[in-house]
């Protein structure tokens, strides 16, 4: 399924995206978790490829990256695992990680591998917009891989318009400048920020991330955006011994009206 389709087909309800780290808690759990998340009702997924110095991540996701790396997860191994993705998972899937890992793998190899396994796009927080535009945009387009840009409260309107022009899927709206794992607080300042973005009528849908952890924060976020992303709260669940049995109730606790 193309990402645009889920936004068109679900115009009236908030979409739920789940982030988790490939290779955590077990090296071979990546596809099984994705399959279970789709069955439980997640609308699209972000699978993180671990990195040794994840600057934007809070302690929960940092820990999952450390464990995944110790387990032996690499980008090459992840793509091998994802060869089974589209035989078991139909919802859109994005890979998320840091540019150094992509650069070492090779940007064209990365996009080619994404296309081969059916990954829809990539979220690379530390890839500068001008660098993407000048050096890599044509490669991403050649392999039909969407590059997802991030917007923060400090992003200027001019830059937001530019990001909107360069995007083909959705725009990742950070709820704050903090690292992941902080609870979303929609005070007056945050509400004004979200409303300002909503009022810009961008051509690409907005999805809010950072600080979404439960039904309450999910509903607050989707008042202003087409969807919201839960990361740390879900990764925390994966540390439980019987985590696979808990995935369905976790998703339903957030999406049940």
**Helices vs strands, H then E, count in the chain:** 14, 9
- H/E stretch holding 123 reads strand 121-123
Helix (H, G, I), strand (E, B) or coil at 13: coil
| Structure-token match 């040794």, residue found | 52
For residue 223, the number of C-alpha atoms closer than 13 Å in the C-beta half-sphere is 15
Q: What Rg, from alpha-carbon coordinates, does the chain have?
A: 17
Catalytic residues: 46, 57
- H/E stretch holding 150 reads strand 150-151
């Amino acid at each position: 399924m193309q990402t645009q389709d889920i936004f068109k087909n679900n115009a009236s309800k908030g979409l739920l995206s789940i982030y988790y780290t490939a290779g955590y808690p077990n090296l071979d759990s990546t596809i099984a978790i994705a399959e279970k998340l789709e069955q439980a009702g997640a609308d699209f997924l972000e699978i993180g490829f671990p990195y040794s110095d994840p600057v934007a991540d809070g302690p929960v996701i940092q820990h999952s990256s450390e464990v995944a790396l110790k387990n032996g997860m690499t980008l090459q191994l992840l793509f091998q695992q994802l060869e089974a993705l589209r035989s078991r998972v139909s919802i859109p899937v994005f890979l998320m990680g840091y540019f150094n890992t992509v650069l070492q793998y090779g940007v064209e190899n990365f996009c080619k591998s994404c296309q081969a396994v059916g990954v829809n796009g990539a979220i690379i927080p530390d890839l500068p917009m001008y660098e993407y535009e000048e050096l890599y945009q044509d490669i991403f387009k050649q392999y039909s891989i969407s590059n997802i840009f991030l917007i923060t409260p400090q992003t200027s309107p001019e830059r937001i318009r530019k990001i909107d022009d360069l995007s083909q899927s959705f725009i990742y709206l950070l709820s704050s400048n903090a690292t992941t794992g902080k609870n979303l607080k929609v005070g007056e300042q945050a509400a004004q920020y979200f409303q300002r973005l909503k009022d810009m009528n961008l051509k690409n849908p907005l999805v809010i991330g950072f600080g979404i952890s439960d039904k309450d924060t999910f509903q607050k976020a989707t008042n202003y955006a087409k969807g919201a992303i839960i990361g740390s709260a879900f990764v925390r669940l994966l540390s439980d011994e019987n985590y696979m049995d808990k995935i369905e109730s976790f998703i339903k606790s957030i999406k049940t009206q």
